[in-house]
Amino acid sequence: MSTNYVLVDFENVQPDLSLLADTPFKVKVFFGAKQQEGRVPFKLLDAMLALGGNVEPIKVMRSGSNAVDMHIAYYVGRLIEKHGDAVIHIISGDTDFDPLVEYLRANGVNCKRAKTITEIAKSHAKPKPVAALKGPRPPVARKPHSDKLAPIIKQLHSLSGKPATRKKLALTIANYFRHHGGPLADSAIEQLIEELIRLKYVSQSGTKVAYHLS
């Protein structure tokens, strides 16, 4: 199972880290040089204690333009080198990370940027117990998908040699729409792949993808 890493640009945003307590996330909090001069707020200290061994504070000793950003980019590269199937969440309001995130995703790395940790915390929240239903349960149906997704699923069904990596899957989708309705932007192709994964037609492990189309 892939490990989720959360890299927090604490110089840019100060999210509620306590939302990640009792989750498997590995959290690295990057503090700018000037932030280390003041007192630590009790709320932050309490949240970091709640994370236990899953949190690591990282001090950026030199101040300067993008100093924290460069440290985060370095740690992203180290994580990819050591854990190729890692899921990396950069928590920052700084859009300068977006070109790096887009490049990594185009090369099969599961990386994303968000301003808060609320959504990723919700995705790993423990489900509430549901009362037992009498009688057999109805089959679970996949939710309807977009008009663009349906022909892609049909195309993937027909391929005997399906693309084995996320990058090759993106190229397959791009080539299909180049000949059927016009080319799509890279961001639209990435959204289609995310939708395929969300609906469980495709699963991803590292850079590799597998198909569950039947």
32 by DSSP, 3-state: which?
coil
- 68-79 pLDDT, tens digit per residue, is 999 999 999 999
Residue 26 pLDDT more than 60? yes
How far apart, in whole angstroms, are the C-alpha atoms of residue 124 and residue 122? Answer: 5
How far apart, in whole angstroms, are the C-alpha atoms of residue 163 and residue 2? Answer: 21
How far apart, in whole angstroms, are the C-alpha atoms of residue 91 and residue 76? Answer: 12
Mean pLDDT comparison of 11-25, 54-68, 87-101, 178-192, highest-scoring range: 87-101
The whole-number average pLDDT for the span 5-22 is: 90
The whole-number average pLDDT for the span 73-89 is: 93
Tell me which DSSP letter residue 104 carries.
H
- 100-123 pLDDT, tens digit per residue, is 999 999 999 999 999 988 877 776
**What is the identity of the amino acid at 28?**
K
State the alpha helices, DSSP H only, in 10-148: 42-51, 67-82, 98-106, 118-123
- 156-178 pLDDT, tens digit per residue, is 888 888 999 999 999 999 998 88
Q: How confident is residue 15, by pLDDT bands cut at 50, 70 and 90?
A: confident
What's the pTM?
A: 0.56
The CATH superfamily label for domain 4-123 reads: 5'-nuclease (3.40.50.1010)
Domain limits, the chain: 4-123, 149-211
